[in-house]
Structure 1
Amino acid sequence: MRPTRISRFFAIAGFVAATALAGPSFAGVESDLASAENAYAALDYATATNAAEAVLGQRGLSHDVLTRACRVAALAHAAQGHGEQAKQAFVLLLQYDPEFKLDGKLGPRFSDPFAEARGYWQAQGRKPGMDVETFVTYGQVGQIRVATRDPLGTVKRVTVGYRWAPARDYAMTTVEPGTKQIEVEANPSSSTRLEYYVRAVDAKDSAVFEDGSPEAPKSTTVTEPAHATKEEKKSIFASPWFYIAGGALLAAAGTYGYFALRPTEYTPASSGRTTLGAACGGARCD
């Protein structure tokens, strides 16, 4: 077998192996999470707790999986009367999902640790979360601005990916948590839609905060400015035809004025000759 064929063989084999491993890993997380949720629904709180914590112990969880697993863990601990564990789980849950509300029908075993967790966040004076803004203009370098609010210090880094559609690959940037600005290259002439996602991850690379995802990115568009036409509008005073027409009008006006103002009857002037003599009773005196 030639070396090039051997290299291709191992490359293909590696890709197949990686794909085979990636599939069950994702399926395994979803399966474990489903087991935890089903066990809680079946009132098997001990099994639900163990399954939820097994999910939370894994790496690279999406924000949705992280939130759902933490919710099951908090509720299952509360159902078993584990007040402190339930409180800590509720504190994390309210970081992942600040809008979470407890079912009012649940008893003190649930409401007490949840109230303590809410009290903790109220004492912080601000809700945890992440704000993302984009500032892009056609043909110019833009920015993606990210601001994380993380009183617990859970977020370890923020990953930003962007691309100008229809490009497939994302340009990736990793920054520290806090308020950061990520430079975005100017759009190519063939694209006006920016696709992006932002993930603030913890020490296990799980998404504490997430805005979009590689599979379902957020997007914004830029507007191409209107191009000037080849024959631009010019001022009337800059056109030579203005002066030609103006000159013709002035000439016509002068001719009209000449004929309009001259006398209509002609009275010949006197010849200038004068006859000298005397009058004698009304008759000429010679």
Structure 2
Amino acid sequence: MRALPCALIGALAFTFAAAPALAQTELEQAESAYLEVDFESTRDHALEALREGGHPPEELVRIYQLLGTASSLMGEEDAARDYFVRMLGIDRDAQLDESVPPRARNPYLEARGIWAARQGRLSISTGLDRASSAVRVELRDPTDMARRVRLAARLEGQAEYNQQEYQSQSVLAVPVEGAAEADRVEYYVEIVDMHGNVLLAEGSPFAPRVVGRVPSGGGGAEGEAGGGRVTFFEEPLFWILVGVGVLAAGAVTAAVIVDQRSSVALQTGISFGVD
């Protein structure tokens, strides 16, 4: 009778020990298959990871890298090139693993050539549209992968964000109550694909971007800033102070040199003129 509880305990211990392995994500399974040189399983798990959605940009780049590499090693060069085009559309500087053999790199090189011939890259710019009390979002999407725009905004000093989601467009005006009179609006924005993966993100709930009035630093008029807070190093006053400092330093240096030359002339009677 006592052997049964021991057996149950042993079985439970084995179950809990095996649980982490059973809980692998699709992306983790794709990585494992790639290490085992099982390229068909790599592709299948990476496709499932892509379709399940919710991945940040760095994971999405890795998914497309695995898809492209596995497809290329399986001889599916057209599909591989398409995956690499998408990968580079998210991160233009993405590189292949050093382990990828030269024969499998041709689709990647072709994808780089395609992007070299295209203008621009996936990007967004923002501004505060006081007339409509909205945050303006301009989207440039040469990848043609963006499907939705998610923006969360709040007036500076507020605790809660107002989150909204729209179908992707080249220009969006996202209404923010009170933005017309507010000094600044804090926000973060995500561009997502058809599966809900994040292609591009700017700001976060804990480190939001800022649009609105930015103090001039000199007690004068305030200006409007878009796409994030202007730092002190971007202010004209900073560069004026730098210029004054450089001129002052130059004047002091010149005075020291003249004084030293005068001293040498008095002590030796030899002139070291520079005329």
* TM-score category (smaller protein): 0.5 to 0.7
**2:125 counterpart of 1:132:** yes
Q: Which residue of 2 aligns with 1:53?
A: 47
- C-alpha displacement of 1:156: 2.3
**Residue pairs, 1:201-212, within 5 angstroms:** 201-212=192-203
* Secondary structure at 1:154 match in 2: coil
Q: Which amino acid aligns with 2:56?
A: S
User: Cα 1:166–1:87, aligned 2, differ >3 Å: closer, same or farther?
Assistant: same
Provide the residue aligned with 1:220 in structure 2. Answer: 210
CA distance in 2: counterparts of 1:55 and 1:48, whole angstroms: 11
Residue 196 (structure 1) aligned with residue 187 (structure 2): yes
> Any gaps of 5 or more consecutive residues in structure 2?
1-21, 220-275
Q: Would you say the 8 A contact 2:150–2:164 is kept in 1?
A: yes
The alignment status of 1:158 with 2:158, answered yes or no, reads no
Partner residue of 1:97?
91
Cα shift readout 1:73-131 (whole Å, capped 9, x = no counterpart): 1122223332122111101111122221235674333320001111222232222x122
> 1:144 deviation in Å?
3.3
Structure number with greater Rg is: 1
CA distance in 2, matches of 1:36, 1:142: 46
Tell me if structure 1 keeps the 8 A contact 2:202–2:209. Answer: no
Alignment map for 1:246-261 (pairs within 5 Å): none
Matching of residue 118 in structure 1 with residue 112 in structure 2? yes
Number of residues of Structure 1 aligned to a counterpart in Structure 2: 194
Pair 1:84-2:57 in alignment = no
- Displacement of 1:178 in angstroms is 0.9
Give the TM-score, by structure 2 length: 0.57
CA 1:169–1:177 in 2, change beyond 3 Å: closer, same or farther? same
Kindly indicate whether the alpha-carbon contact (under 8 Å) linking 1:35 and 1:51 is maintained by their aligned counterparts in 2: yes
**Residues 147 and 109 of structure 1, relative CA distance in 2, 3 Å threshold:** farther
Q: State the distance in 2 between where 1:71 and 1:52 align.
A: 9
Percent identity over the alignment is: 25
Deviations 1:160-195 (A, max 9, x none): 111234422424252532133434444699x97743
Q: CA deviation digits over 1:238-259, x for unaligned, max 9?
A: xxxxxxxxxxxxxxxxxxxxxx
Letter in 2 for 1:218: P
**Cα 1:207/1:105, change in 2 over 3 Å:** closer
